[in-house]
Amino acid sequence: MERHEVPTHLLVRDKVVFGLTVKQLFTLGTGLVAAYSLWPAITLDRWHLTLVVRLVSMTLIMGCAGIAAFVVIARQPVDAWVIHWAAYVTQPRCLVWRAMQHDIPKGEDDDEEAEDQ
């Protein structure tokens, strides 16, 4: 009887750099670009207030990017949960069917008017 090795690493993603997957690197890179591009956009009258607002906004953006890159809930990444939530919120709650005029055969429309009279 021959023995065959069964692959057990099918759900393991490949690590690219620093033990991070491609998706994690892309998510963190996008957060870094967004935070860095916001830095010159924030200017206030006082330099210390500007610095505090800049650092807080960069921390929030990078924190959100870190959460999106590393947090997994019920085997689903956070960005998948956000996409599912957005699809749920944007779908209508009540669907109403209305017959279009071309859906009604021509003979049936005349029969209904004759029965009403």
Of the candidates 5, 10, 1, 16, the one whose C-alpha atom is nearest the C-alpha of residue 69 is: 16
**Domain-wise residue ranges, the chain:** 22-116
In order along its 117 residues, the chain shows pLDDT tens digits of 888 888 777 777 778 888 888 999 999 999 999 999 988 888 888 888 888 999 999 999 999 999 999 999 998 999 899 999 999 999 988 888 877 776 566 665 555 555 555
Alpha helices in 7-46 (DSSP H): 22-38
Residues in CB range of 61: below 8 A, 6 or more apart: 31, 34, 35, 38
pTM higher than 0.75, yes or no? no
Rounded to whole angstroms, the maximal C-alpha distance in the chain is 84
Residues 31 and 61: beta-carbon distance below 8 Å? yes
8-state DSSP, 101: G
Q: How far is CA 104 from the centre of its chain?
A: 41
In the chain, the percentage of residues whose pLDDT exceeds 70 is: 85
